[in-house]
A and B are shown apart, each in its own frame.
Chain A
Amino acid sequence: MQTPTTLSRPLAQRVAGLHDPRAPAATAPALPASVIEAAASALDRGETHYTDRPGIPEFRAWVADHLRERYNVMVDPAEVTITCGSTEARFVCMTLLAAPGGSVLCPGDRSPIRGAAHLVGASIVDSVQDDISLLYITPDDYRETSIELLRRAEETDWWIVYDLSFAKTNPPFHPAQNPKLASRVVTINSLSVSLAGWRLGWMAGSEMALRLRAGKQAITICTTAVSQWAGLEWARTQL
């Protein structure tokens, strides 16, 4: 049998700027019994169909509650979309909030958004310039720099993505606590450390929430149902 190795025509040029995937970690921590049972119970009661496109209501409500309790940030559950890991949330945000040919301002580690920015056709910069449409920050960025950039954001129409998913620190600070910015802030987070294989993340908040939801739907429709039930149990009991 002759298996096909090379397409008859060239690939899209954008592919050349992307890296080969990394190998996954060899092991993951054991799951708590309650999470295992939550997943098994969901399957037993037939949670094998599409969920609501933005995610199961219980999980979206938990995300909204968590943001309120942890950061005093008010987000309606209707503004929460459960995603296939934070990877999908970042990609959707980059797609819809960063302008092709424009720049994303990122004062810290740019590796989480490098590939998505490339696909969108946006540049990543670490200082303020005229063509910025999106500010991407994390809790691990140097705090004084973030505060200064958020102060600049008040005078602009930048969108702000606050990505908690890889944070080594978890301060109570949140850019949406500033009422001048709150409607432009999207929070990204995930359960990627503890439930990496289940592919669960979310994006929450902003005036763009419904468009972000539609952007996710266009790629994967909804997030794996049983993952959402497992993740909900994890979130309720472990966070």
Chain B
Amino acid sequence: MTMNANPNIPEEVRAVAADGTQLRYALMEMAREMDDVIALGRGDPDLDTPPHIVEAAKAAIRDGRANLTPVKGMDDLRAAIAAHLREVNGLPVAAENVMVTTGGQEGLFLAIQALIDPGDEILVPDPRYSSYDDAIHRAGGIMVAVPTNREDAFNLEAEAVEAAITPATKALLIVTPSNPTAGIVTEDRARAIADVAIRHNLIVIVDEIYGKIVYEPWRHFSIGSLPGMAERTITLDAFSKAYAMTGWRCGYVAAPKNVIDAMARVKQVTTGPVAAVSQWAGLAAITGPQDCVSEYLKIYTERRAVLLDGLDRMGFAYGEPRGGLFVWADSSSTGIHAAELSYLLLKEGRVLIFPGTAFGDKWREYVRITMLEPIDTLKAAVERMLPVLERYQL
């Protein structure tokens, strides 16, 4: 089915939809100025930061502890993160292997700056979170896409990774669970990919920010825990998603000590240390009760079922979303380019979703939809989208 010339779409919509990434920002701006929009675009949990974390931050503020910290982060927090990564993820790390970052996105930026020279190739699964592009391009790196596909639930294949390797390849970027696909790299695949990485002496940068949001029966697995991987793996994570803490801007990186030292040198001149109040909140999150994480996962599991039911009604196909906060849906049954579809759903349905083209040029038949609204709202979103589809689909 063609995605190029839908006669139902007015010309002004085509003009706006021409650039997927720009459209993503434009859609967010447009939604902000509209009333009664159901926002299923941004990856910002609607759930609030758990009370014990907020109270810990307030206590730090009132006790006068919100002072400037070392660039690598507070010692207590680095030690707590290391302990957590050892116990939960199986990573062989100590506090000296950990640095606190201003969210997960900065962790990736710093890692790329510390590792990638101009001309180095870095393998990135396709589709990808497009904010990675800027970090790689600023370092002069060359992004090489590694295909994933819906039939395989967007799991990453070692064979596909190895096929993309050239003499210029320095690193592989893994995102598990993936933004935008919600696929995970399963343990068997991780073991095979680790074997490839060791044979080709690749650095592995793994973004595990959604690692605590994995749906039954699947399990998160950290590739850095495998033998021979600790000296080549940079693990990125943040408190943002699992603990509903996006606004605190607090994440962390675990890596060999010389990488942490190098990243700290970069961080000193790019952003400086993370806000102290956020670090106290992060310390409470990682050392406090973890019931909130499992409670949030239960909520997302219920929402996921509702959203998938709605997608079935809309005729959208999808790979099994195994983790994270999104569904990556194939909208080709509508015959509408994803960018145009996103625009129309916002303009006429007042539902904000993101077009697949914001995550890779070829994904014009896909959309990314979040489950970051209550169940009744998700149901209402489906009811709003259905008539728009009926009106425009070919």
A residues at B contact (CB < 8 Å): 1-9, 11-15, 18-25, 27-28, 30-31, 36, 39-40, 43-44, 46-51, 84-85, 87-88, 91, 95, 114-116, 118-119, 196-199, 218-227, 230
Residue on B with the closest CB to A12?
B117
Residue on B with the closest CB to A33?
B62
Contacts A7-B255, A23-B70, A39-B61 given; indicate if A198 touches B276 (C-beta within 8 A).
yes
Name the distance in Å between B108's Cβ and chain A's nearest Cβ: 10
Name the distance in Å between A45's Cβ and chain B's nearest Cβ: 10
Contact in complex: B58, A43 (CB < 8 Å): yes
How many B residues touch the partner, as a band?
35 or more
- Measured between alpha carbons, how far is A174 from B131 in the docked complex, in Å? 35
The 22 listed contacts between A and B (C-beta, < 8 Å) are: A3-B93, A4-B92, A4-B230, A7-B232, A7-B259, A11-B115, A12-B262, A18-B269, A21-B268, A43-B57, A44-B54, A84-B102, A85-B271, A87-B270, A95-B138, A116-B270, A197-B67, A220-B249, A222-B247, A224-B102, A224-B249, A227-B275
- From B42-50, B298-306, B342-350, B363-371, the one touching the partner chain is B42-50
Contact in complex: A24, B70 (CB < 8 Å): yes
Contact of B271 (CB < 8 Å), options: A24, A36, A88: A88
Name the distance in Å between B194's Cβ and chain A's nearest Cβ: 12
Contact of A197 (CB < 8 Å), options: B69, B249, B266: B69
Which chain A residues border B179 with CB–CB below 8 Å?
none
Name the distance in Å between A11's Cβ and chain B's nearest Cβ: 5
- Measured between alpha carbons, how far is A86 from B44 in the docked complex, in Å? 26
Contact in complex: B92, A2 (CB < 8 Å): yes
Indicate with 1 or 0, residue by residue over B236-279, a CB within 8 angstroms of chain A CB atoms.
Answer: 00000000111111000001111101101111111111111110
Residue on B with the closest CB to A112?
B269
- Other than A27-B67, A85-B272, give 19 A-B pairs with Cβ distance below 8 A: A1-B94, A5-B256, A6-B256, A9-B170, A11-B114, A11-B258, A14-B117, A18-B265, A21-B264, A39-B61, A49-B45, A50-B42, A198-B276, A199-B272, A221-B103, A223-B249, A225-B247, A226-B57, A227-B275
Name the distance in Å between A124's Cβ and chain B's nearest Cβ: 13
Contacts A119-B269, A225-B247 given; indicate if A3 touches B68 (C-beta within 8 A).
no
Contact in complex: A48, B67 (CB < 8 Å): no
Contact in complex: B265, A3 (CB < 8 Å): no
Q: Taking the complex as formed, is B113 at the interface, i.e. its CB lies under 8 A from any CB of chain A?
A: yes
Which chain A residues border B86 with CB–CB below 8 Å?
1
Contact in complex: B257, A15 (CB < 8 Å): no
Q: Which of B62, B138, B265 has most A Cβ within 10 Å?
A: B265
Which chain A residues border B221 with CB–CB below 8 Å?
none
Contact in complex: B271, A30 (CB < 8 Å): no
Contacts A12-B139, A219-B109 given; indicate if A199 touches B117 (C-beta within 8 A).
no
Within 8 A of A (CB), among B33-64: 42, 44-45, 48-49, 54, 57-58, 61-62, 64
Contact in complex: B116, A12 (CB < 8 Å): yes
Q: Taking the complex as formed, is B322 at the interface, i.e. its CB lies under 8 A from any CB of chain A?
A: no
Which chain B residues border A25 with CB–CB below 8 Å?
67-68
- Measured between alpha carbons, how far is A209 from B211 in the docked complex, in Å? 36
Contacts A21-B72, A84-B272, A199-B273 given; indicate if A3 touches B245 (C-beta within 8 A).
no
Contacts A4-B256, A24-B273, A199-B273 given; indicate if A224 touches B105 (C-beta within 8 A).
no
Which chain B residues border A119 with CB–CB below 8 Å?
113, 266, 269-270
Contact in complex: A220, B271 (CB < 8 Å): yes
Which chain B residues border A5 with CB–CB below 8 Å?
256-258
Q: Taking the complex as formed, is B97 at the interface, i.e. its CB lies under 8 A from any CB of chain A?
A: yes
Instruction: Give the 8 A-B CB pairs with smallest separation, nearest first.
Output: A115-B269, A225-B247, A21-B71, A18-B265, A4-B256, A197-B276, A218-B134, A24-B68
Q: Taking the complex as formed, is B161 at the interface, i.e. its CB lies under 8 A from any CB of chain A?
A: no
Name the distance in Å between A222's Cβ and chain B's nearest Cβ: 7
Contact of B102 (CB < 8 Å), options: A51, A198, A220: A220
Contact in complex: A49, B268 (CB < 8 Å): no
Contacts A20-B264, A24-B70, A199-B272 given; indicate if A6 touches B105 (C-beta within 8 A).
no
